[in-house]
Amino acid sequence: MNGGIQALLGWVLVLGIGSALATEAGEAAGARIIQTDERHPIGSYLTDEQGRSVYMFEADSSNQTTCYDACAQAWPPVLTDGRPTAGPGVDESLLGTIERADGSLQVTYNGWPLYYFIKDSESGDINGQGVNGFGADWYLLTPGGQVARAEGTEERPRG
């Protein structure tokens, strides 16, 4: 094989693996449990039942997602097969779902659609906190449904 074909096949393999990881992270696995974790200097923030951090996207509006295609590859939506459940420290009344364009159900909290970040590889990772991508910023959410900030800074209300 010549070098150009080998390089092309290498990129196809890398893109295929990245796509598979993004799809796996966003796949629904029964009804999701949303719970909390705590990390300095952020304080208490939302995670899923496996301790994976979940994020909100400032470009979204109340119960409306704007993250599709390449965005959803980097930030897979938190999907569910049923009504999400509140774990310890989470307000059940703030949990909900929205229907995505493909018919899947995405978990929301205080109206914010929730996402994973493809660069969070382990439970407790918060690599997506404050990232600017796809036209807006991404943040963790507090159990009160506010944008999580470093301790001692002001939380931004929903809206």
| Count of structural domains, the chain | 1
74 in a domain, yes or no?
yes
- Pairwise pLDDT comparison (13 vs 55), residue with the higher score: 55
Residue 18, classed as helix, strand or coil, is helix
Residue 86, pLDDT score: 98
Task: Give percent of the chain with pLDDT exceeding 70.
Answer: 76
156 in a domain, yes or no?
no
- Span 4-27, average pLDDT: 46
Residue 122, pLDDT score: 96
The pLDDT confidence band at residue 30, using thresholds 50, 70 and 90, is confident
Sequence-distant (≥ 6) Cβ neighbours of residue 12 within 8 angstroms: none
The pLDDT confidence band at residue 150, using thresholds 50, 70 and 90, is confident
75 in a domain, yes or no?
yes
Peptide bond into 84 cis (omega under 30): no
- Specify the pTM: 0.79
By residue range, what is the domain housing residue 73? Answer: 3-140
157 in a domain, yes or no?
no
154 in a domain, yes or no?
no
Give the H or E element holding residue 55.
Answer: strand 55-57
Query: Which tens digits make up the pLDDT trace of 69-102?
Result: 999 999 999 999 999 999 999 999 999 999 999 9
152 in a domain, yes or no?
no
**Is the pLDDT reported for residue 153 higher than 60?**
no
Residue 3, pLDDT score: 54
Task: Give percent of the chain with pLDDT exceeding 90.
Answer: 72
**Is the pLDDT reported for residue 9 higher than 60?**
no
158 in a domain, yes or no?
no
Peptide bond into 143 cis (omega under 30): no
Residue 59, pLDDT score: 98
108 in a domain, yes or no?
yes
